[in-house]
């Protein structure tokens, strides 16, 4: 029996999980570890197009995320920056931090 042909985004996801583990990849994607594992097993019952869009926006650009403030950054740095911006919010007194918050609030990758 021939092996199934997986879409390119699942191969990208498989590569990232192989390098970092499903927990770390799940955090970078904004999904749980179990969602990542179920997708790779082919048993995820949710909307795969949402997962595909997130995988491609985060890992589809040679494993880098395009940030309007920081430029091309690693997915782990992206989620760290996004979480910090979300926590600080409009309370930021530093203009760079405030600009980062506003950019993260409109981010197509994370929202």
Q: Are residues 42 and 58 in the same domain?
A: yes
Q: Are residues 92 and 47 in the same domain?
A: no
Residue 68: count of CB within 10 angstroms of its CB: 12
Q: Are residues 84 and 105 in the same domain?
A: yes
What is the reported pLDDT for 4? 55
> Is there a domain that residue 1 lies in?
no
Q: Encode pLDDT of 46-76 as tens digits.
A: 999 999 999 998 888 888 888 988 999 989 8
pTM above 0.85, yes or no: no
Residue 19: count of CB within 10 angstroms of its CB: 10
Q: For residue 71, is it left (φ>0), alpha (ψ between -120 and 50) or beta?
A: left
Q: Are residues 58 and 13 in the same domain?
A: yes
Q: Are residues 58 and 82 in the same domain?
A: no
pLDDT-derived band at 35, boundaries 50, 70, 90: very high
Q: Are residues 58 and 69 in the same domain?
A: no
- Length of the chain equals 111
> Is there a domain that residue 84 lies in?
yes
Q: Are residues 95 and 56 in the same domain?
A: no
CB 90 within 8 A of CB 104: no
> Does residue 5 carry a pLDDT above 70?
no
């Amino acid at each position: 029996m021939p092996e199934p042909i997986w879409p390119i985004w699942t191969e990208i996801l498989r590569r990232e999980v192989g390098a970092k583990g499903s927990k770390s990849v799940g955090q970078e994607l904004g999904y749980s570890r179990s969602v990542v594992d179920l997708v790779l097993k082919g048993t995820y019952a949710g909307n795969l197009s949402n997962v595909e869009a997130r995988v491609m926006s985060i890992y589809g650009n040679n494993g880098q995320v395009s940030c309007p403030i920081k430029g091309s950054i690693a997915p782990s740095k992206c989620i760290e920056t996004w979480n910090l911006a979300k926590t600080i919010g409009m309370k930021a007194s530093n203009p760079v931090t405030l600009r980062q918050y506003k950019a993260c609030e409109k981010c197509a990758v994370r929202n």
